[in-house]
Amino acid sequence: MQTYTAPLRDMRFALNELHQDDGFGHLKAHEEFGPELMDAVLEEAARLCQQVLLPINRSGDEEGCHFEQGPDGTSVRTPEGFREAYRQFAEGGWTSLVAPAEWGGQGLPEALGKMVEEMVCATNVSFSLYPGLTSGALAALTAYASDELKQTWLPKMVSGQWSGSMCLTEAHCGTDLGMLRTKAVPAGNGGYKLTGAKIFISAGEHDLTENIVHLVLARLPDAPKGVKGISLFLVPKFLLDDDGNPATRNGVWCTAIEHKTGIKASATCAMQFEDAMGWLVGEPNRGLEAMFTMMNAERVGVGIQGLGIGEAAYQSAVWYAKDRIQGRSLAGAKYPDREADPIIVHPDVRRMLMTMRAYNEGCRGVSAWISRALDAEKHAEDAETREKAADFVALMTPVVKALFTDLGFESASLAVQVYGGHGYIRESGVEQYLRDARISMIYEGTNGIQALDLVGRKMSAHMGRYLRGFFHPVSNFIEANAGDEQLAPFIAGLKRAFEALQGSTSMIAQRGLKDPEEAGAAATDYLRQLGLTAMAYCFAKSVKVAMTQLSQGSDEAEFYGAKIHTARFFFDRILPQTASCYLAIKAGKGSMMALDDAAF
């Protein structure tokens, strides 16, 4: 059964207790947003997600989107309940939560916004894509669009009246955007006419908003070849009249929707542009730079999808493990008054549940860390802090995207396993989590691409400056707490993982200079090693906070005690993976690249 209660206490812990020493907090721009206001927002978001979005999650999956041919062209109809849910979502101000106040947004911290995103994704990941794409488009337009474009388009996108999409992929090119063929020619009125076809466009067509603002990559007539010849354009579904209202249908159409493994209530569209009017965003031939602003925002958002699904899968598995009776405990009957014990008494079921729980809490801790950096990157008063935050965000974005989605999919798979045969059939609802989670490892740049980005760009950038933003706080924490006897097991485990990570970093840097394939062969293992070390750092800090609270007689002993138990499981059973990552990296590319192509 799909069941979910927002983990508000753990969210408050990650927001208010875990990262107070990271240097990214106490921002003057957010002084008015105190804990009471943040709590109220989280509680209201939880109500909306649990009462409005969760009930239409499975029904939306069963029904899917409808591709229809009408008198004025093609359209896409979302499943029953989605339009009303989106209306409530927009009217409740959730589309404007973290958007700039200048354009009608509420300007709340990203650290809070990401917690709300997690709840939305946990209850209905298909629904999350509609406002999620708009949020990414807003990021790109805010950073690169002209003042005129901003004034025309941003207010109604922020309000949720209009939505956004990202149009990159073409049938012959996905990651290799240098091959794209969509053309843009000057229209003589300051705009451009775009012609071409795009595929796999999330939220490219739907019935939730009165207009859709597409951000489209295309080539100008005199553009150089490759990625240096790509420009970004704003192309609306409807052109506006003199009063700024949608009026004339533009030359952009959905020609089909994809029939997918999961996220079936999200419209994934094939789009055709035929002399569609558009306006240049940013400078000519520098569109990829602008689009990456959107993509990087989306990559963190996709990581949050993995965390949200992981939490929903965990809670559904816990419910079943407590409800399903089967066999007796190996230590003797734990519930002798019942016909059998619930399966939660069995060690292997506990292994699966604790693995999911540790993944979720660890990812939530890292998510809160990068979210605070996202806020500091925008709002810190001094340039040094802004640069430090930007470096950290750049380093951790591929880690959040890839690791969170890998672990979210694994959690969904474990949930199916906990249910056994009942998990494999549709009625239980947990198989949907598995299907929905799978795409998150693919779109917005596959997880393999994220790993290559980490080792190929981020690791070496500015002579290793990005890495120092991660290495220094971890090293300082280990040194500062080396003499704490209570923390000793956690500090020792973190130190071993950190030293292995340093060894891998040095190894890849040296080998990669001589042979780029060595870095490529190590990339996926290195990303996981860094991500698990980041989770270990957050868990060690969690234990320190929890132990301090317990020593002071906190009235939340159960919560803080559970924090320590979960951290112990992570250090005992999950963190040792970092050693195997190191050994795999050390083995090099040899066995991976030995076979001739024809031998496969």
Output the CA–CA distances (angstroms, integers) from residue 445 to 125, 143, 436, in the order listed. Answer: 18, 21, 17
> DSSP characters for 346-388?
SHHHHHHHHHHHHHHHHHHHHHHHHHHHHHHHHH-SSHHHHHH
Output the CA–CA distances (angstroms, integers) from residue 443 to 275, 430, 450, in the order listed. Answer: 28, 22, 11
Among 359, 442, 357, CA closest to 401: 442
**How far is 570 from 553, CA to CA, in rounded Å?**
25
Amino acid in the structure at residue 422: H
Q: What is the CA radius of gyration of the chain?
A: 24
The question of whether 444 is a catalytic residue gets the answer yes
Output the CA–CA distances (angstroms, integers) from residue 193 to 216, 220, 222, 236, 243, in the order listed. Answer: 12, 10, 15, 12, 23
- Region of 210 on the Ramachandran plot (φ > 0 left; ψ -120 to 50 alpha; else beta): alpha
Among 555, 557, 578, 575, CA closest to 567: 575
- Contact residues for 594 (Cβ-Cβ < 8 A; gap 6+): none
Contact between 329 and 143 under an 8 Å Cβ cutoff? The reply is no
Contact between 180 and 227 under an 8 Å Cβ cutoff? The reply is no
> Burial of 256 by CB count in 10 Å (0-12 exposed, 13-18 middle, 19+ buried)?
middle
Across 446-516, the runs of DSSP E, i.e. the strands, are: none
Contact between 153 and 141 under an 8 Å Cβ cutoff? The reply is yes
Q: Which of 431, 444, 499, 518 is catalytic?
A: 444
What six digits make up the tokens of 219?
């080539």
212 — phi, psi (to 5°)? -125, 130
Contact between 294 and 397 under an 8 Å Cβ cutoff? The reply is no
Output the CA–CA distances (angstroms, integers) from residue 299 to 360, 391, 441, 538, 584, in the order listed. Answer: 18, 16, 10, 21, 26
**How far is 599 from 251, CA to CA, in rounded Å?**
48
The span from the first CA to the last CA of the chain, in angstroms, equals 42
Q: Count of CB atoms within 10 A of residue 329's CB?
A: 16
Q: Count of CB atoms within 10 A of residue 82's CB?
A: 26
What six digits make up the tokens of 94?
């959730």
Q: Count of CB atoms within 10 A of residue 190's CB?
A: 9
What six digits make up the tokens of 60?
């939306």
**How far is 532 from 211, CA to CA, in rounded Å?**
42
**Known catalytic residues?**
444
